[in-house]
Amino acid sequence: MSEHPLITKYREFSPSSGELGERARTVFPGGDTRSSAHYGPYPLVMDEASGCRLRDIDGNEVLDFMNNFTSLIHGHAQPDVVAAVQNQVAKGSAYAAPNTDQIELAELIVDRVPSIEQLRFTSSGTEGTLMAIRCARAATGRQKIMKMEGGYHGSYELAEVSLVPFPGRRGDLDAPASTAVDGSFPDSVLGDTVVCPYNEPALANALIDAHAQELAAVIVEPVLGSMGMIPADKEFLTTLREATARHGIVLIFDEVITLRLSEGGAQKNYGVTPDLTCMGKIIGGGLPVGGVGGDKALMQLFSPDQKSPVMHASTFSGNALTMAAGRAAMLAYTAVEAKRLNTMGEKLREGFNQAFAQTGLRARALGSGSLTNLHFTTDEIHDSRDAFTGMVAAGELTNLLHLTMIRHGVISATRLMYCTSTAMTDTEIDTAVTALHESLAELRPYIEADWPTLLAS
């Protein structure tokens, strides 16, 4: 089969990245060391970045709407963060001991996030959700957890159960099946996980009541991230809060992505307070980070003063370099900047949706605040099953749009996730909308030939 013409154009646009991509395949399986950041035929190899712009090794400059999967709240090389890191690295990167920035960053988070009275830093968001689950099990003496269908909480089996709602495997909506995303899952993990449909308060309430005596925790993202930035309905989160409180189950909010939605995270916007909150991404200022925080009584289970504390030993947790970067980044992320970021996100979605409407394409931009994702459907997107239907309908079109947008100067996550950074202004939003108009015009003949059902009649 011959290569698609738009993929050929991408190769012509980025020949040096193509050459390095082949070289990378000799040392990395598939040519990359991070699955989520990989895309075909090969990803751009970046050389430098500043503000909201990336430059690849061919000299192409692109606007960065990926921001390392939402973690770079201020874009690249923000001056306060750079200064903090430069100052700290000259004094040492990791002490295996407390430091002032570590304490001050924690105080800032405690002051801002409603649910957090105490916290512990981890080396990644993955580790943060893992420790939250272990804390819940220690607190309740129960084994199982409930997670949402389509929810992603990190790179370990329990966090990825039923990540993709494949038809024929996913079960009925009122009792979704626990399914593996790949061949590495032991049956025990599937047995320890109760899967709940997203944004279905009545079904969630019934499932929690049915499994209450086995459930240590319910973990949920206030915005379902990897399945397309689907915001939770407030009634859904309120129902989870009430049902878990009724049965003494620990409610965990995974705010690794959504902490950016206000100074106090999505929970402050929704007015729903969980028992534990998982963090990551923006609190590290662009360096590896994670965290878990919440009710003091729960967090005391980690205390070394306890007779048998929950074990948490992580070499780079709270390291001096990350704490310096994170403190600088979070001090710069004010309520005013959060509002500006969210307003730009809303403008981006409006512009994208106008582009889709003018092209006559059955597609839409969905999201919350500064978080946006494109979907190839105009139907309501209520949960991961709705989102997956659009993904299947689009097929290779998703990758073609992603590559075409790159050639038009805008890069996003491969799954067409976009997020704004404080390095942006309305000018960058307008540029991205123009790029989508131009990309859709270029794609139109191929859509007519290969995806006619995605065109409005």
Cα(20)–Cα(139) distance, rounded to whole angstroms? 50
Amino acid identity, position 244: T
Span 232-269, pLDDT tens digits: 999 999 999 999 999 999 999 999 999 999 999 999 99
**CA geometry: angle at 225 spanning 220 and 228, to 5°?**
130
| Contact present, 351 and 433 (Cβ < 8 Å) | yes
Cα(442)–Cα(192) distance, rounded to whole angstroms? 48
436: pLDDT confidence band, cut at 50, 70 and 90? very high
457: pLDDT confidence band, cut at 50, 70 and 90? confident
| Contact present, 160 and 181 (Cβ < 8 Å) | yes
Distances (CA, A) of 145 to 116, 132, 151, 214, 250: 21, 11, 13, 8, 9
Given the residues 56, 64, 101, 254, select the one marked as catalytic.
254
Report the DSSP beta bridge partners of residue 121: 291
Question: What fold, for 79-332?
Answer: Aspartate Aminotransferase; domain 2 (3.40.640)
| Contact present, 269 and 110 (Cβ < 8 Å) | no
Distances (CA, A) of 237 to 137, 175, 229: 21, 18, 16
Backbone torsions φ then ψ of 48, nearest 5 degrees: -160, 165
Other CB atoms within a 10 A radius of the CB of residue 360 amount to 14
Span 343-394, pLDDT tens digits: 999 999 999 999 999 999 999 999 999 999 999 999 999 999 999 999 999 9
pLDDT recorded at residue 222: 98
| Contact present, 375 and 227 (Cβ < 8 Å) | no
User: Which of 296, 220, 208 has the alpha carbon at shortest distance from 249?
Assistant: 208
58 is catalytic: no
pLDDT at 227 over 90: yes
The string of DSSP codes covering 331-363 is HH--HHHHHHHHHHHHHHHHHHHHHHHHHTBS-
User: Which of 254, 199, 200 has the alpha carbon at shortest distance from 225?
Assistant: 254
pLDDT at 1 over 80: no
| Whole-structure pTM value | 0.97
Domain ranges of the chain: 5-73+334-454, 79-332
3-state DSSP call for residue 312? Answer: coil
147 is catalytic: no
Cα(250)–Cα(160) distance, rounded to whole angstroms? 19
Element (H, E) at 452: none
Span 163-216, pLDDT tens digits: 999 999 999 999 999 999 999 999 999 999 999 999 999 999 999 999 999 999
Token pair for residue 224? 């379902």
Given the residues 10, 39, 42, 152, select the one marked as catalytic.
152
Pure H helices in 271-319? 296-299
Given the residues 56, 101, 147, 281, select the one marked as catalytic.
281
pLDDT recorded at residue 174: 93
Span 123-153, pLDDT tens digits: 999 999 999 999 999 999 999 999 999 999 9
List, in order, residues 6 or more apart from 322 with CB less than 8 Å away: 121, 284, 285, 287, 288, 289, 316
pLDDT at 76 over 90: yes
254 is catalytic: yes
| Contact present, 139 and 361 (Cβ < 8 Å) | no
Does 98 sit behind a cis peptide bond, omega within 30 degrees of 0 on the bond before it?
no
User: Could you tell me the CATH superfamily of domain 5-73+334-454?
Assistant: Aspartate Aminotransferase, domain 1 (3.90.1150.10)
The string of DSSP codes covering 38-62 is --SS-PPPEEEEEBTEEEETT--EE
Report the DSSP beta bridge partners of residue 418: 372
